[in-house]
Chains A and B, each alone.
Chain A
Amino acid sequence: MDSIADMGGTDGWGPVPVPRKDEPVFAERWHARVYVLTRFIRGEISGRNLDAFRHSLERLDRDTYLNNGYYGRWLAGSELMLTDSAILAPGAVDARARNLRGDDVAEPPVPEPNKPDYPETDSSWRRELDRPPAFSVGQRVRAKDLSPEGHTRLPRYARGHTGVVELIQPASVFPDTNAHFLGENPQHVYTVLFESRELWGTDAEPFSVTIEMYEPYLEAAA
């Protein structure tokens, strides 16, 4: 889906923060707690589905996505995954947080989980495919101009543009269906190299970008 998470080529962000050599792994303790909680939530508690977690991130509104940084969006995405699968009731975290700070509010009852019954065929995302790749190294391909309602890993800045297949990567579970618990639907994956002027016009700095493309995102180009 088109979302705040798809940031490539968007404007207005200002300068890049200067790297700090002594940056701690976790700047605040809650960052560490959210990091590990999310690993358990997306890896075990709410189905083994990293794609579903990424889809929860892309559904956040702009403020929720940005205001508390990387771990703030992980926290909000985790909550969304848990309410999606009815492991937590909507408002449960809010109510508990209010009680923790001394308010006295009623907490919603624990719901009946509807955690998707979704057996994975392998713990990795890699899959073997019987069919050969549709495209070959060196072939010109175009990223389809798709704007799906659901999850996708096709960045907006590549859509409709033409590049060249640089590498064929291991076949993979398809995020666009897996994120919705609609099947692994494995696909071939290609590293496609785009020239900057194809993406950004004739005034662009000269450089290349590679993007990993799942086969359904691509069509042959002349």
Chain B
Amino acid sequence: MSVPDALSPALRAEALEQLLVERGLVDPAGLDQLITTYESDIGPLNGAKVVARAWTDPDYKRRLLANGTAAIAEMGFAGPQSEHIVVVENTASVHNVVVCTLCSCYPWPVLGLPPTWYKDPAYRARVVKEPRTVLAEMGLCLDDNVRIIVRDSSSEVRWLVLPERPAGTEHLSEAELTGLVTRDAMVGVAKVSAVTAPR
């Protein structure tokens, strides 16, 4: 691909779109609308609301762990890449972390589109072989007695991590808790901190 006059992907994308639009196969307005949806409406805030509710409503948490898809749909979140979501709980002794080694499968309706690190070959290749090392590189050092379970999303099943509720947050409301929950914690490469962080 390093030929001197290689065409940039941006140019190739423009060419592809033009070819499909002029044959009436796609509608540019439909494309714009879908971009706006993923830039504005679908993102990790959805998953954060699910987590905060599970932390404050024990009955909801039970439903979420028993049938993630249905409990998430209760909150109004459904769509492609989430027809069957399994929610697993991280605790002081068990730590789940999610990957897709074969592509980059990810639960879009609750987390939005995957971040760069999730799609990177280094993460996809290494987290199934040396997760403790990878998590430490990413800033999460787990005690030796914590059991790590890596969830490789090789089918259409999607995994969502219910992070551990941090100590010192007992007085916070569901809305305040929502503000603490990060995307990285819901994939399992971070813990939730009691201090507000940008999502």
Contact = CB atoms under 8 A, between A and B. Distances in A.
A177 B154 CA distance: 16
Main secondary structure of the interface of A (DSSP, over half): mixed
B156 interface: yes
Contact of A36 (B1, B35, B84, B137): B35
Interface residues of B, number: 75
Contact of A153 (B15, B26, B102, B182): B102
Given A7-B101, A7-B124, A40-B30, A30 B14 contact: yes
B122 to A, nearest CB: 4
Given A8-B124, A97-B12, A97-B15, A20 B101 contact: no
Contacts of A97: 7, 11-12, 14-15
Nearest to A15: B137
A207 B86 contact: no
Nearest to B40: A25
Interface string B183-199: 01000011000000111
B166 interface: no
B80 to A, nearest CB: 8
B74 interface: no
Contacts of A68: 9
Nearest to B27: A40
Nearest to B35: A32
Contacts of A39: 34, 80
